């Protein structure tokens, strides 16, 4: 059985455990005090492994953890917690990050749902800009980093209004040939996970997997309803309810961008986070108007913005209809 620190335990002769603030199949996340820097709180993430794994696989997993932790410790972005330390004890590895105060976005969704209201689109877009900037930073590293578990409960809103992507649980470093190993077992949270991520660690998973989860997160934030599990959508695309059918206050532009991000096939999604943010904010609509391969959600009737060509055709049809009616009236006089 993996080592389990208890209240008051001092890890690595430095981090005194105060309480559990998160828990999952990988282990726990603890709130701890840094005894070397009085008053500094930090989050200590425990990474446990399946004890039934063959020794060589277990060794490979732990070596991968050390490589990934080294990379994470070099990251510096205002919307990401700073990884300050990592270490091992017995059969368990630990990652030490800044403690981020505030509520996670899943709690804000629950409050809005309880009050029978929706989060404001302008507020959600502001958060999306910050999350998008953090993801673009991760994906833009020399060795791109894919988070693989974007979801409301992994995003915290700090008292200052800054949002931070707080959990690196399924982080994946993209190596040449895409042959990599994640530090944990699992494929992310089902309702936000794209189809290609179910293929296992050897599957082709790139930054577009984060874009899918990002789109699913925004869908949830704006509708109070999580997106349909991608496997159910694969069997029946119509199971995904249009965001504006749930919350009419969502702008058509934002709905289109979210559905684009939620395309089942990665090639049908925005090619990068910047492109998605441009579509979301209206900075660039050309790609949405010129989509030749619509995501599954577009397969049935819905309201969409008319392209300039569509508008001209509609105007021409209207003129011809008016002339026809006018000629009919003249003949009947």
In a shared domain, residues 197 and 77 = no
Q: What are φ and ψ of residue 84, in 5° steps?
A: -110, -15
* 216 and 254 part of one domain: yes
Q: Are residue 60 and residue 141 in the same domain, yes or no? A: no
Residue 42 has which token pair? 């930090």
Same domain, 188 and 272: yes
* Residue 199 included in any domain: yes
Q: Which of 97-111, 230-244, 306-320 has the lowest mean pLDDT?
A: 306-320
Q: How many CB atoms lie within 10 A of CB 167?
A: 23
Can 115 be counted among the known catalytic residues?
no
Eight-state DSSP code of residue 92: E
- Residues 118 and 261 reside in one and the same domain: yes
Instruction: Specify the pLDDT at position 43.
Output: 94
pLDDT of the residue at 307: 36
> Residue 290 falls within a domain, yes or no?
yes
The average confidence (pLDDT) of the chain is: 81
- For position 320, what pLDDT does the model report? 37
- The answer to whether 147 touches 210, Cβ cutoff 8 Å, is yes
Residue 85 covered by a domain:
yes
State the DSSP code for 20. E
Question: How far does Cα 240 stand from its chain's mean position?
Answer: 18
Segments forming the whole domain that contains residue 39? 10-98
Instruction: Look at the chain and report how many structural domains it folds into.
Output: 2
Compute the average pLDDT of residues 110-137.
Answer: 97
| Beta carbons within 10 angstroms of residue 106's beta carbon | 18
pLDDT band at 107 (very low <50, low <70, confident <90, very high): very high
- Do 153 and 62 belong together in one domain? no
Q: SS3 of 117, please?
A: coil
- 54 with 162, same domain: the answer is no
CATH number at residue 58: 3.30.200.20
Tell whether 77 and 108 lie within a shared domain. no
Residue 118 within any structural domain of the chain? yes
Percent of the chain's residues with pLDDT above 90? 59
Q: Are residues 81 and 196 in the same domain?
A: no
Within-domain flag for 324:
no
Cβ-contact 124, 222 below 8 angstroms: yes
The residue annotated as part of the active site, out of 34, 93, 104, 149, is: 149
* The pLDDT value given to residue 200: 54
In terms of domains, do 141 and 181 share one? yes
User: What pLDDT is attached to residue 291?
Assistant: 39
**Cβ neighbours of 150 (radius 10 Å):** 28
54-70: pLDDT as tens digits: 999 989 888 888 888 88
**Residue 140 covered by a domain:** yes
- Domain boundary residue among 50, 79, 98? 98
Q: Which of 45-54, 87-96, 98-107, 294-303 has the lowest mean pLDDT?
A: 294-303
pLDDT at residue number 288: 42
Residue 318 in domain = no
CA angle, 63 then 68 then 72, to 5°: 150
State the pLDDT at residue 76. 96
Residues 247 and 114 in one domain: yes
Are both 89 and 109 inside the same structural domain?
no
Mean pLDDT value of segment 33-52: 92
Q: Residue 218 — very low, low, confident or very high, per pLDDT cuts 50/70/90?
A: very high
**Encoded tokens for 326:** 């006018």
- Give the tens place of pLDDT for each residue, 164-217: 998 765 566 554 433 233 333 344 578 999 988 876 544 568 999 999 999 999
Indicate the residue among 83, 98, 113 that finishes a domain.
98
Is 325 a member of any domain? no
Torsion angle (degrees, nearest 10) of CA 302, 305, 311, 314 = 20
pLDDT of residue 329: 47
Comparing 100 with 50, which gets the higher pLDDT? 100
What CATH number does residue 260 fall under?
A: 1.10.510.10
Interatomic CA distance for residues 42 and 255, integer angstroms: 37
Among 32, 65, 98, the domain boundary falls at 98
């Amino acid at each position: 059985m993996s080592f389990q620190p208890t209240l008051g335990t001092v890890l690595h002769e430095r981090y005194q455990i105060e309480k559990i603030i998160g828990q999952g199949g990988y282990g726990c996340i603890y709130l701890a005090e840094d005894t070397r820097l009085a008053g500094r709180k930090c989050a200590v993430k425990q990474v446990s492994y399946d004890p039934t794994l063959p020794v060589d696989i277990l060794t490979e997993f732990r070596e991968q953890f050390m490589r990934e932790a080294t990379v994470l410790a070099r990251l510096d972005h205002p919307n990401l917690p700073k990884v300050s330390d990592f270490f091992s004890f017995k059969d368990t590895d630990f990652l030490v990050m800044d403690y981020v105060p505030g509520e996670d976005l899943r709690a804000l969704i629950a409050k809005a749902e309880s009050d029978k209201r929706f989060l404001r689109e302008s507020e959600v877009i502001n958060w999306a800009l910050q999350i998008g900037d953090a993801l673009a930073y991760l994906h833009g590293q020399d060795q791109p980093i894919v988070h693989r578990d974007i979801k409301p409960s992994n995003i915290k809103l700090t008292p200052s209004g800054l949002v931070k992507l707080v959990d690196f649980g399924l982080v994946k470093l993209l190596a040449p040939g895409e042959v990599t190993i994640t530090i944990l077992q699992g494929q992310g949270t089902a309702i936000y996970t794209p189809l290609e991520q179910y293929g296992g660690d050897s599957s082709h998973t790139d930054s577009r997997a984060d874009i899918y989860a990002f789109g699913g997160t925004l869908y949830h934030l704006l509708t109070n309803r999580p997106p349909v599990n991608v496997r159910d959508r694969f069997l029946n695309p119509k199971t995904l309810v249009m965001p504006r059918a749930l919350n009419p206050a969502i702008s058509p532009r934002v709905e289109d961008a979210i559905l684009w991000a939620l395309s089942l096939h990665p090639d049908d999604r925005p090619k990068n986070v910047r492109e998605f943010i441009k579509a979301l904010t209206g900075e660039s609509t050309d790609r949405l108007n010129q989509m030749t391969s619509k995501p599954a959600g577009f397969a049935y009737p819905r309201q969409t913005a008319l392209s300039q060509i569509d508008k001209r055709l509609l105007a021409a049809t209207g003129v011809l209809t008016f002339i026809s009616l006018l000629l009919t009236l003249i003949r009947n006089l």
